[in-house]
Structure 1
Amino acid sequence: MEQLSVLPTKAVAPSLLRRAASLLVAIPLVCFVALLLTYTVNVPWMDDLDAFLNFIVGYTDARTTAEKLDWLLRPNNEHRILIAKLITLGMYDLTGEVNFRWLIFIAFGFLLGILGLFYRVFRSIKLPLLAFAPVPFLLLQPQHYLTSIWAITGLQHQVVVFLTFSAIYLLAGRGRERFAGATVLQLLASLSMSNGLFGWVAGAVVLTLQQHWRRLGVWLAIGIATIIFYFHDFSSPQGNETSFSFFLKYPYLVFSGFFTFTGALFDFFPKYSIFWRSVLPTLAGLVVIPTMLWFLWQMNWETISFRRSGSSGWSSVGRTEDALQKRRYFFTGCYAFLMVNAVIVAFLRPRFGYSVMLVSNYMLYPAVLVVLLYLNGLSEFRVGRTVTQWFRVGMVLSILVWGVSYMRHWPKVSQRRQMLLSFAFDQQHNQVGLGATPGTPFADMARQVINETIKRGMYTYPAEIATLFEPVLRPATRTLPPDPLLKLERIDNEYSTVVQTPNWSPPAATRQAYVVAVSDRWTFLFPTESYFAPGPFFLNRPVPGLRAEVIRGMLHPGTYRIGMLILPGNTQPVRFGKQTITVP
């Protein structure tokens, strides 16, 4: 079989090509690992508190096996998260604590599992390693950072995609053992996040194409039973019943949302208004979906033509065609899973605002879809000039996506780290800060579970809080006189107060800045946004002024002096202006 020829082999030694291919595959992997090591912190955020800390307290306090099983299987919001809880339990049994940084690294292991599964499919095509290089560039980039550096989302989305795709991969082959393994994996996927249930649809598509009617019946029976179990004790429909009325009122938003979501890998302009921001992803979706449909027609028209009467959908041409057939089943099943997921997202989520179609939590799915299309093209073309052209297009697009993603989202990853550390300080010193509003049931739960897990040694705040903030935010800080050089402006809205410093440039060495809100009892920190524009972040340019949003709902009642905390290396890190905020 003729192989992919991207570079002239007479001019370039094969060993040099192999080293170049290995380097290209390694670059996105090394950069992504460095990103995680640098910016992940051991701080829970919002749903993490209930999903991990409240769970481990409840599970360890449970006295019977039935109670422990209930803690493992009970829903958290819209999802059951069995795998996430089992991982948390295993971590606690091994180390005696719950560490969110390590939970994120474990979730990254499932992302590597997805990459490994794609590599296994690629190896069956028997092309040089160089042809695989676009895949890690498309997959290992920070556009989906809210999945990659947030424990709860990482242990949902990445886990479900890996388990579901692995189940489809097993179904695509022959043998009862593979069917049994696929069923177990699909059960785990279903109990790890609600969209794992879509894998039953994908598996049914594969088994139908294979004409395995008996296995299809077993698969559907187990799937239906799993779905009934999954929803039997949900306390409420989570407001999803309003999505139908939203669809009747705005059907065009649901229709366009489907294409925006499926093309969201090309969300290159996140700072634009949502209309202009969504133009390129929507146009990309209008290319991605027809391309996928063309591949589905090509694969399954030939699949049907291969069949003999009464056969199970496998060709008898030989091992090479069997491998092709297996890949076709795999791609078809994965597309089915992703399309059901895209339809559900487009139907249920636009009522929260159209920008949800491009939210980072969901961006793993469009990335995976484009990876599948690229591998599908390699599989179908395989030889000659067409596959070479396909590789070149894939290489250019993947490096473009990777580069734009780092340029746009690397600063956001850094900003999130600063946010989590400052809000962890607020939680530790003010009993509120990790996404809760004082006086709400969630704030009460957060306070109780954080205090209880710290008391039991199950959780410890990161050391950065003590080293960064506590030395400069002593009680004596509250009595500092106003700095006449610090001019603060405030802009009030319904939710928050925006504090900014017009025409004042902090020292060039500054890399972190926070708004400080201080009363006679409480000290709150709010991170600034100013250092996370491309110029200051990448080129270390000074910023013309500082800007931060003080969330009034986080503040306890009282009158707060407003100032700035500038780190590092300043002789006077805390400076106050004359502005105050009063919370009744």
Structure 2
Amino acid sequence: MKILNVFAAFTVLIIAFLFYRFVGQNAVNVPYFDDYAYLEYIIKFINAPNALHFMQELEYKHNGHGVITAKLVFWLDYLLTGEANYRTLILVGSGLVIGLFTYFWKILSVNRLPFWYALPVALFLFTPAYHENIFWAAALWQYTASFAIGLLTYFLLSKNNNWAFTGAIIGGYLLTYTNGNGLFGMYVGLVIPLLQTRHKKAIIWLIACVLTTVLFYWYYPFGFGSLGQEKSLKNSALTIVSFFGSCASYFRGRLPEVAVLGVGITLSLISLALWLVVEYVKKLVNNASKGKILSVFTDTPANLSLLALLAWLLVTGLGVATARAVDTLETPARYMIYSVMSVVALYVTFLLILSQRGQKIMTGGMTVVGVIFAVSTYMFAASDVINFRNSLISDAFSLKQHRRVTGKLETMTNTVVKKYFDEAVEKGIYVIPTTALNEVNLIKADTLTMPNVSLSVDIDTLPAYGGILINKVRNEQLAVSQDKPQNALFMVLKNDSTAYVTAVKQRPNRERRSFLRTGNYFKEGFEAWIYQDNIPEGNYQVGFLFSETQKPRLVYTSQRLIIQDFQK
């Protein structure tokens, strides 16, 4: 047993090291969508004439979400460093995953289970599976942070002392103001003092919940929440299955696995909830002894925090299925962390319920599944992360040169966003990073060979905001060396006076044998998306910048691309 624990500890360290090395390689100091809003919040905090005005700005909702926690983190980053640094926020925020792992390890430890049972937990948590909640600073400090705060809140609430209870109330308030699902989380915590028969504390907790809700909705901008999809039992079922089962897409990149896992998690959570309710009612009505399952949670305070987590996951899934129902099975990146956390939470729960033999069998099986999952997340998700990183690098160049972004919805067309971004840059609140692109003269380049690169160009429409037109440029041959993690390929569009850069989406390598043999995330070819407003209309010569060495190589082709003004 001791050898297994040592081996598991060594393996966990390797898994965590690989994860954080990957985070360090791909976290960049460039904002993405909602990240821009926090520059506005920092400026408003600086300009607040008094404490009351500061608190009003802090409480102000962001797209219907109370994000006080994220605002405070961004504000603290500015106070400590003198600027808003998104890379720092990502690196620090990714450390929350250590907190999540430590929580589940603590549950196992309290129940006298060996450390090697925690190995599957590490295999699921220390991966890029929920990459949008890691590499997007705003999403990280809303979604990932909500779990860290929620688990801490439940753990403190399960402790029978006043200081811990006070800390839990503060945690519940911050949880409510972390993202939209946090409001469910605070109310769910009520089950802890109720099952502990701490009725006075339960009443105080309920009052705290109500007061927090009143504060939350006092200045709430109603109108957010529903996506406008048809409400039906079918759509709700598809949504909750997608919500819980999405992480299964990493096994083979297919939806059937998503359906199987989603149905399994949903039924497990509902069945467990019904079982516990029946046992609790029997105890109240017949004054009977606690049932086997109920006693597993109530006899150990820390286990009650796990029960609250399960209830929170179920309530959140039902809430999303009701308010944001969609008409298809999908794998939304922003909800991936809920799927991963559901798998881990249920795994630990079953360990508490099963016999010793069953625990070993389950741990062995989940370790095998976890290894496959961890490797598959790098095969499927790492390519998305690297392409995302490269798009932000091209954003850094485009923002500095043209005040535009590339390869995504144009952010700078929003005059409010542009106003505060310009002010943040002017005052040094945000410093646009210098990249390898800034060291290349994009107008002058080696064009002697003028290679004829095969390109196909299509115009597509993104069904958002009334329809966004996109130029999609494809190629099947070009690639960059993958011997260094920072290597990247960029497309350059040049006219007589200036040049624009956009990162291409390199084609991911989805062949498992090839990936395991070479370690390459990509195969030859790419697709570049040029959204309307990314680049002004005109006739551009197409070039490619191969960022493979300390001196990037830029070559222009004989191909030309005509960009239309879609607004005309």
Conserved 8 A contact 2:176-2:183: yes
Aligned to 2:380, the other structure's residue is in SS state helix
| 3-state SS, counterpart of residue 486 of structure 1 | coil
Equivalences, count: 547
| CA contact 1:124–1:323 (8 Å) conserved in 2 | no
Q: Is the 8 A contact 2:26 2:386 kept in 1?
A: yes
C-alpha contact 1:327 1:379 (8 A) present in aligned 2:
no
1:178-327 pair list within 5 angstroms: 178-238=164-224, 240=226, 242-243=228-229, 246-248=230-232, 251-268=233-250, 277-296=254-273, 324-327=299-302
Match status 1:331 vs 2:310: no
How far apart, CA to CA, are the structure 2 residues paired with 1:322 and 1:541?
Answer: 43
Q: CA RMSD in A?
A: 3.2
Structure 1 pair 484–574 and aligned structure 2 pair: CA distance change class (3 A): closer
> Secondary structure at 1:339's aligned position in 2?
helix
- 1:130 is aligned with what amino acid? W
Report if the CA contact (8 A) 1:482-1:578 is conserved. no
The 5-angstrom pairing of residues 94-493 of structure 1 reads 94-238=80-224, 240=226, 242-243=228-229, 246-248=230-232, 251-268=233-250, 277-296=254-273, 324-351=299-326, 354=328, 357-381=330-354, 383-433=355-405, 435-437=408-410, 440=413, 442=414, 444-463=415-434, 465=435, 468-476=436-444, 483=450, 485-493=452-460
Tell me the distance in 2 between the aligned counterparts of 1:254 and 1:294.
18
Cα deviation, 1:389-415, whole Å, max 9, x if unaligned, reads 122222222222212212211111111
Matched, 1:564 2:535: no
Residues 453 and 301 of structure 1: is their aligned pair in 2 closer, same or farther, counting only changes over 3 Å? same
Cα pair 2:506 2:522 within 8 Å, conserved: no
Q: In terms of mean alpha carbon deviation, does 558-567 or 126-135 score higher?
A: 558-567
> CA 1:445–1:321 in structure 2 vs 1: closer, same or farther (change >3 Å)?
closer
> 2 CA distance for matches of 1:508 and 1:39?
17
Q: SS of the residue aligned with 1:77?
A: coil
The 2-side partners of 1:306 and 1:526 are apart by 64
CA distance in 1: counterparts of 2:384 and 2:503, whole angstroms: 12
Worse-superposed segment, 189-198 or 285-294: 285-294
CA distance in 2, matches of 1:205, 1:551: 49
- What is aligned with 1:579? 560
Q: After TM superposition, give the deviation of residue 295 of structure 1 in Å.
A: 4.0
How many Å separate the matches in 2 of 1:397 and 1:217? Answer: 43
Residues 42, 428 of structure 1: CA spacing in aligned structure 2 closer, same or farther, 3 A cutoff? Answer: same
Residues 515, 550 of structure 1: 8 Å contact kept: no
- Partners of 2:273 and 2:311 within 8 A in 1: no
Give 1:37's aligned residue. 24
Cα separation, partners in 2 of 1:270 and 1:426, compared to 1, 3 Å: farther
The answer for the alignment partner of 2:466 in structure 1 is none
Whether the 8 Å CA contact 1:481–1:576 is kept in 2: the answer is no
Q: CA deviation at 1:161?
A: 1.1
Residue number among 476, 497, 503 corresponding to 1:527 in the alignment:
503
Give me the TM-score of the superposition, normalised by structure 2. 0.87
CA distance in 1, matches of 2:95, 2:56: 27
The answer to whether the 8 Å contact 1:168/1:182 transfers is yes
- Displacement of 1:507: 6.9
Structure 2 Cα separation of the partners of residues 161 and 559 of structure 1? 49
Structure 2 unmatched ranges of 5 or more = 462-468
Distance 1:451 1:291 in 2: 50
Distance 1:137 1:571 in 2: 37
Percent identical: 20
- Provide the secondary structure at the position in 2 that maps to 1:45: coil
Q: Distance in 2 between matches of 1:414 and 1:293?
A: 38
Deviations 1:111-170 (A, max 9, x none): 222222222211101122111111111112111000011100110111111112222222
Q: Is the 8 A contact 1:486 1:575 kept in 2?
A: no
SS in 1 for 2:533: helix
Higher mean C-alpha displacement, 532-541 vs 560-569: 532-541
Q: Which residue of 1 aligns with 2:465?
A: none
Match of 1:548 in 2: 528
In the alignment, residue 217 of structure 1 is paired with which amino acid?
A: I
Tell me if the contact between 2:493 and 2:542 (Cα under 8 Å) persists in the aligned partners.
yes
CA contact (8 A) 2:227 2:324 kept: no
Q: Return closer, same or farther for 1:359/1:252 CA change in 2, 3 Å cut-off.
A: same
Q: In the superposition, relative to structure 1, how do residues 387 and 217 fare at CA in structure 2: closer, same or farther (>3 Å)?
A: same
Partner of residue 464, structure 2? none
Note the alpha carbon deviations across 1:174-222, whole angstroms, 9 max, x for none: 2333332211110111112221101133112333333433333322222
Question: CA separation in 2, counterparts of 1:526 and 1:343?
Answer: 40
Q: Which runs of 5+ in 1 are unaligned?
A: 1-8, 272-276
Q: Distance in 2 between matches of 1:552 and 1:270?
A: 34
Preserved contact between residue 66 and residue 177 of structure 2 (Cα < 8 Å): yes
In the alignment, the residues of structure 2 paired with residue 168 and residue 70 of structure 1 have an alpha-carbon distance, to the nearest angstrom, of 28
> In 2, distance between residues paired with 1:428 and 1:571?
19
Residue type at the aligned position of 1:79: H
Give, in whole Å, the separation in 2 of the partners of 1:247 and 1:542.
40
Query: Distance in 2 between the 1:534 and 1:252 partners?
Result: 31
